[in-house]
Each structure stands twice: as C-alpha cells, then as structure tokens.
Amino acid sequence: MEIYLDNSNIDLIKENISWCPITGVTTNPSIIAKENKVNLFEHLLEIKNILSNTKKLHVQVISEDYDSIVKEANKIQAILGNDIYIKIPATKDGIRAINFLSTHGFNITATAIYTTMQGVLSALSGAKYIAIYYNRIENNNGSANEIIYDLAKLPQIINNETKILAASFKNTNQVVSAFANGAQACTVSDEILKSFINNILVEKTIIDFKNDWEKIYGNKNILDF
Ligand code: E4P
C-alpha cells in the first residue's frame, strides 16, 4: 500500500515527509505551473534531493506526439536519474511511447486514465503504475470504483508488475474506496493528506485524556516519574 503527495511545492513536500509515511511525490503540468514559473529541472532536482533515494518522484511529459514524448522521457531520465517515474498520458501516441520506453528500461506511470481499457492497454504496454482519475471519472458519470475493481483482477496487477495508482481525489472517502476496491497506491493533495488525521473526534479525545490526567497529576508527564 502506498500514499503519494500530489504536489510540487518544496515547503509542503518537506513538511509532509517529516510526519507522513509517503512513498513519494507525483506531479503533472498543472501542479508544476502552480509554482510560478520555476526553472523546471532545478525545481525537480530539489524535490528529488529532498526525497533522497528512498522515495519516488513521478514527473509528467508535456508533449503529445510519440517522438517528442520519447525525447522528453530521455531528457527527464538523463537529468533526474534512472529511478525517476515518467508519467505519460494513455493516448494512442502515449501507449506507443509507454511500450517503447518500458522495453528500454524506463519506469513509466501511465496517466489520464478514465476507462478500464486505457488501464489494460497501459499495463500490457509495461507501465509500472496506472493513474486512474477517480474524481474526474465520477464527475463524468462513471464509476471509478468499478474501474479500479476490474483492473485489480489483471494478472499484471495481481503479480505487482503494474500498480493501480488512484489519483484526482476530492475527499477522504474516495481514497478509502479506491484502496478497498484494489488500488495499491493513492496520490492525494496536501489538504486530503492532512484530513486523514485532522478530525474533531481525535482532537476531543486528546483533550479528554489531558483533562482527566491533569485533575489528578497536574502538569506532570511521564518523565517526571
Ligand atoms: C495525478 O497523477 C493526477 O495528475 C492528479 O491527481 C489529477 O488531479 P486533479 O483531477 O485534481 O487535477
């Protein structure tokens, strides 16, 4: 089971990896564009450095045609290293590029997946992850849960050759459903990550413990005994 942060802000990445057992960071062109025209590779190298060798970084190509996707993938890998995950939209050109790059040792995350068959083709083409756009599917009157459930039965997924990376979430329940239906990984915004633990019931429980304790022991803690 893996949780990713879907964000490219340096401060938020540092803060979240300090407390949360995230597997890594996912970005896309819209996420990078929010960082106000940063120098792309300087920024990505800084993220890579923060994540060190222990966490994964997924970076998306910008071009849409096969030749340019392959060239961009080569440049991304040459600068960011062999352990980078290159996100490629599962279009016709994208699937062709996923096939070619996967057979040449690149780690590929197929993205912009709205249908079961996009997922099937991406997995068959050798993608290591397939990013299913949960909330966008639901907004389009589809069932993200059914798509994830069906894809989770593919031999490639069962054998862990390809992982379902559910994405595009708008609330915690969607993340829980994605995992329950067979996603091995979910990528979430900073807000959703924090919502996993920012809960009024948890806060009240902590206050109740503190009040009960202080009635008897004042402000002593474990170290005072
Ligand atoms: C991640 O891989 C996706 O690019 C991302 O989760 C899309 O999220 P959005 O639908 O909120 O833009």
For residue 167, the CA-to-ligand 1 centroid distance in Å is 5
Q: Tell me, what's the pLDDT at 107?
A: 98
For residue 200, the CA-to-ligand 1 centroid distance in Å is 27
The response to whether residue 187 sits with its C-beta less than 6 Å from ligand 1 reads yes
Q: Tell me, what's the pLDDT at 199?
A: 87
**What structural domains and CATH numbers belong to the chain?**
2-195 (3.20.20.70)
Q: Looking up tokens 């008897």, which residue turns up?
A: 216
Q: Tell me, what's the pLDDT at 53?
A: 87
The response to whether residue 166 sits with its C-beta less than 6 Å from ligand 1 reads no
For residue 136, the CA-to-ligand 1 centroid distance in Å is 9
Contact assessment for residue 28 and residue 40, using Cβ atoms and an 8 Å cutoff: no
For residue 12, the CA-to-ligand 1 centroid distance in Å is 17
Give the DSSP letter string of 98-126: HHHHHHTT-EEEEEEE-SHHHHHHHHHTT
Catalytic residue among 55, 56, 87, 128: 87
Which protein residue's CA is at the shortest distance from atom 8 of ligand 1?
A: 168
Which amino acid, one-letter code, is at 49? N
Which protein residue's CA is at the shortest distance from atom 10 of ligand 1?
A: 168
Contact assessment for residue 101 and residue 86, using Cβ atoms and an 8 Å cutoff: yes
Q: Tell me, what's the pLDDT at 123?
A: 97
Q: Tell me, what's the pLDDT at 38?
A: 82
163 among known catalytic residues: no
pLDDT tens sequence for the chain (225 residues)? 999 999 999 999 999 999 999 999 999 999 999 998 889 999 999 999 999 989 999 999 999 999 999 999 999 999 999 999 999 999 999 999 999 999 999 999 999 999 999 999 999 999 999 999 999 999 999 999 999 999 999 999 999 999 999 999 999 999 999 999 999 999 999 999 999 998 899 999 999 999 999 999 999 999 999
Please give the Cα distance from 185 to 201 (Å, whole number). 27
Query: 106: closest CA among 124, 123, 128?
Result: 128
Name the phi and psi angles at 24, rounded to 5. 165, -160
